[in-house]
């Protein structure tokens, strides 16, 4: 038999404590602890809803639709929960067993009640279900009535985002990283892919979260509405929303919403060679010798380079898929939205990328890193930084 009187006697003795005093009641301190943890979690969740990453601050039709669906679901669920639990708690207290009480009258069945609590939930669940499915279809692709849709392919990499525009405007192909630029009031269709593991694209104020799955293309669309944005250009924060490894939490990006004219100017300027200072020219040589096996800095990636990188990645060689740096100096941030773009931060990134992004595939694979520290000379580092900040 499972019952062990000696064991439980020993346990009871321990509760009276070695000093002979009474031990505090454990369930109660547990209750206080969980109350404290809940309070902290509540504060944290509230903090999450602040600022540029708040889903409650929708800035376009897709985010609006998601928010409405969310609000209606949550309110219906909250009201149902409070009603049902309220009646349950009331009944449990009001009709609890009392000493000396007689056996209460036994009731069997109540047809009107039973019909009501079958029909009401059925209507609620069917209604919400149909609405959710219709919303899902609508969130997939832009309305057919749109006369222009910008198409972008977003690829998730450990741990950064690549954005390719097959036609960014005027037939120009653009590849960039970690900053998605779009014109305001324009529907954007995003094709979602992954190069390694599953990631998820999420721009809380605009759209998301949809998984980026290797060998399978998903899609979402969004639009930023000028009447919901105070000033342009406006920045919307994005984040990978599917755990994808060591630096997942550091895998961010930005969506920059621009006036059409500013966007067109960016497309126009992309990849145009700019005049380099002598130091930047030296930097270009350093770049070509050390960095261009993984990075491109002159226009969209050549297909051969992409294939070579993927092959090298699979073979575990000295190369890895890496952000296209052609327009690096026009970005506000780099290293997947982590650092402001300036010379000091570029230096920190180059010198010890692991301090910024643990497990990154730059210091893991580039031959000029030893134990995560750069072996290039100070002179070369300064020169390559000068080159990087001339990439516009
Ligand atoms: Cu991730």
pLDDT tens digits for 354-378? Answer: 999 998 989 888 889 988 789 999 9
- Domain-embedded: residue 139: yes
Distance between Cα 198 and ligand 1 center (Å): 7
CA of residue 64 to ligand 1 center, whole Å: 25
**178 Cα to the center of ligand 1, angstroms:** 13
**185 pLDDT exceeds 80?**
yes
Q: Is the pLDDT of residue 269 over 60?
A: yes
Question: 187 versus 13: which is more confidently predicted?
Answer: 187
Quick one: 315 and 255 in the same domain?
A: no
Q: What is the pLDDT of residue 56?
A: 85
Q: What pLDDT is stored for residue 283 in this prediction? A: 93
In sequence order, what are the residues at sequence separation of 6 or more whose Cβ sits closer than 8 angstroms to the Cβ of residue 283?
A: 276, 380, 382, 383, 384, 385, 386, 387, 388
- If pLDDT is split at 50, 70 and 90, which confidence band does 11 have? very low
Residues 31 and 168 in one domain: no
Q: Is the pLDDT of residue 319 over 90?
A: no
pLDDT for 10 equals 45
Q: Residue 4: which H helix or E strand, with range?
A: none
Examine the pLDDT at 2 and tell me if it is beyond 50: no
254 Cα: distance to centroid of ligand 1 (angstroms): 15
Q: What is the pLDDT of residues 243-255, one digit of tens each?
A: 999 999 999 999 9
Contacts of 343 (CB under 8 A, 6+ apart): 385, 389
CB 199 within 8 A of CB 240: yes
| Six token digits for residue 48 | 């999450």
- Among 34, 136, 128, which residue's Cα sits nearest to residue 80? 128
CB 297 within 8 A of CB 325: yes
Domain count, the chain: 3
Higher pLDDT, 44 or 210: 210
In this prediction, residue 320 carries a pLDDT of 81
Q: What is the CATH number of the domain that holds 142?
A: 2.60.40.420
Check whether 168 has a pLDDT greater than 90: yes
Mean of all residue pLDDT scores within the chain: 86
Tell whether 332 and 221 lie within a shared domain.
no
pLDDT tens digits for range 13-62: 444 444 444 545 556 778 888 888 888 887 766 655 555 778 888 889 99
CA of 240 to the centre of ligand 1 (A): 4
Domain that holds residue 182: 53-77+113-268
The CA 159 to ligand 1 mean position distance, Å, reads 7
Which pLDDT belongs to residue 8?
Answer: 43
How large a percentage of the chain has pLDDT more than 90? 53
For residue 93, is it within any domain?
A: no
Centre of ligand 1 to C-alpha 157, Å, is 9
At 225, the pLDDT band (50, 70, 90 cuts) reads: very high
- Distance from the CA of 364 to the center of ligand 1, in angstroms? 19
Same domain for 306 and 366, yes or no, is yes
Position 285 pLDDT exceeds 60: yes
Centre of ligand 1 to C-alpha 130, Å, is 31
Same domain, 255 and 193: yes
Give the model's pLDDT for residue 136. Answer: 87
Mean pLDDT across the stretch 139-164?
92
pTM (two decimals): 0.82
> Measured in angstroms, how far is the CA atom of residue 361 from the centroid of ligand 1?
15
Q: What's the confidence (pLDDT) of residue 307?
A: 60
Task: Tell me the CA–centroid distance for residue 373 and ligand 1, in Å.
Answer: 25
CA of 248 to the centre of ligand 1 (A): 4
Q: Which residues surround ligand 1, an ion (CB under 5 A)?
A: 199, 240, 244, 248, 251
Answer whether residue 97 is part of any domain.
Answer: no
């Amino acid at each position: 038999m499972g019952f062990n009187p000696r064991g439980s006697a020993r346990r009871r003795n321990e509760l009276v404590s070695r000093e002979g005093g009474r031990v505090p009641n454990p369930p109660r301190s547990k209750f206080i602890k969980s109350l404290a943890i809940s309070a902290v979690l509540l504060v944290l969740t509230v903090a999450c809803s602040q600022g540029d990453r708040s889903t409650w601050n929708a800035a376009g039709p897709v985010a609006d639709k998601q928010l409405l669906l969310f609000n209606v679901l949550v309110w219906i669920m909250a009201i149902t929960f409070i009603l049902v639990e309220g009646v349950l708690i009331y009944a449990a207290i009001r009709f609890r067993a009392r000493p000396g009480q007689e056996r209460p009258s036994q009731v069997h069945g109540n047809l009107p009640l039973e019909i009501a609590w079958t029909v009401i939930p059925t209507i609620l669940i069917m209604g919400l279900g149909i609405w959710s499915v219709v919303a899902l279809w609508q969130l997939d692709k832009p309305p057919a009535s749109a006369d222009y849709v910008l198409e972008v392919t977003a690829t998730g990499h450990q741990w950064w985002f690549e954005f390719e525009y097959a036609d960014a405007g005027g037939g120009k192909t653009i590849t960039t990283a970690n900053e998605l630029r779009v014109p305001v009031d324009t529907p954007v269709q995003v094709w979602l892919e992954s190069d390694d593991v599953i990631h998820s694209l999420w721009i809380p104020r605009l759209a998301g979260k949809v998984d980026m799955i290797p060998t399978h293309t998903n899609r979402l669309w969004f639009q930023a509405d000028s009447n919901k944005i105070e000033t342009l250009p406006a920045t919307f924060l994005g984040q990978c929303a599917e755990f994808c490894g060591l630096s997942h939490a550091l895998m961010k990006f930005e969506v920059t919403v621009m006036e059409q004219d500013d966007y067109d100017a960016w497309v126009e300027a992309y990849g145009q060679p700019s005049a380099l200072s002598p130091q930047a020219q030296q930097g270009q040589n350093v770049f070509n010798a050390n960095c261009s096996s993984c990075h491109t800095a002159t226009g969209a990636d050549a297909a051969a380079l992409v294939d070579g990188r993927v092959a090298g990645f699979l073979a575990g060689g000295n190369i890895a898929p890496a952000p296209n740096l052609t327009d690096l100096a026009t970005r506000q941030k780099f290293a997947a939205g982590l650092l402001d773009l300036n010379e000091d931060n570029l230096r920190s990134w180059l010198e010890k990328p692991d301090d910024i992004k643990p497990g990154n595939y730059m210091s893991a694979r580039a031959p000029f890193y030893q134990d995560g520290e750069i072996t290039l000379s100070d002179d070369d580092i300064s020169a390559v930084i000068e080159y990087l900040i001339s990439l516009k």
